[in-house]
Every structure is written in C-alpha cells, then in structure tokens.
Amino acid sequence: MIAKSGGKLITTSEEYGGQVLDPSINRPVLVFFSAPWCGPCRLSNPVVKDVMKQFMDDINVVEVCTDDLPDVASDAGVMSIPTIQIYFKGQLLDTIVGCVARNVLASSVDKILEDYVSSP
C-alpha cells in the first residue's frame, strides 16, 4: 500500500523489521514516521515525495503511522512527529525531527549515499 508521502506504508512490526532493519538490504531506507492528524506531517509529505523521486534509484522510502504502530515508533526512539530516520543495512544513520526543507533532507540522503553506499 502506498502512503500519502509516496512511500510504502508499513502496517506491521514484522514488515518494519523486514523492510527497514534487515541488514541484507543494500539500499538506504528513509522511514517517515507520521500520523493523519499531524499538520506538520501533512506539510512534510510533498518534501518526502520529492526526495523519493530525486533518489528513486538509490533509496527505499517507507512510512509508519505512529497511531497504528506505536510500539515500532517507540522502539525506534521516535518522541515526536514528523520524524524521518535513514537506515542502511539495518543501522540508523540519521534522524531529522520536525518539518524539514527539501534541500536539507536531500543533503542528508546524499551524504549517506556518499559515505556508506559509494565507499569501497
């Protein structure tokens, strides 16, 4: 199922583990934690969608509704929404809390691609 951010909507904790935390995933995974009632989350949807399009060949994008999966959000250390986390090979590499500008999010993704994916 596609979420409002354009990413794949994660609906179970098992799916989160397989799509985000699995160390065999060879692409960074951008996780967008949000909720339908959250105004700043709605403002962040187009930003996440734009960055997903920009890096479509390089990253996976998933969305977690904190109302539906509060335990997943809690285990990930999410204290407020929107929160964006970027994982690579099951390891958390970056966290951005609150609304974020497209260029800031794109720079974060670009840095992870340079530092972790492009390195020999």
- Known catalytic residues are 38, 41
* Alpha carbon distance 101, 88 (integer Å): 22
The answer to whether 8 and 75 have CB atoms below 8 angstroms apart is no
Cα separation, 6 vs 53, in Å, equals 9
- State the Cα–Cα distance between residues 116 and 114, nearest whole angstrom: 6
**Structure tokens of 66?**
């904190």
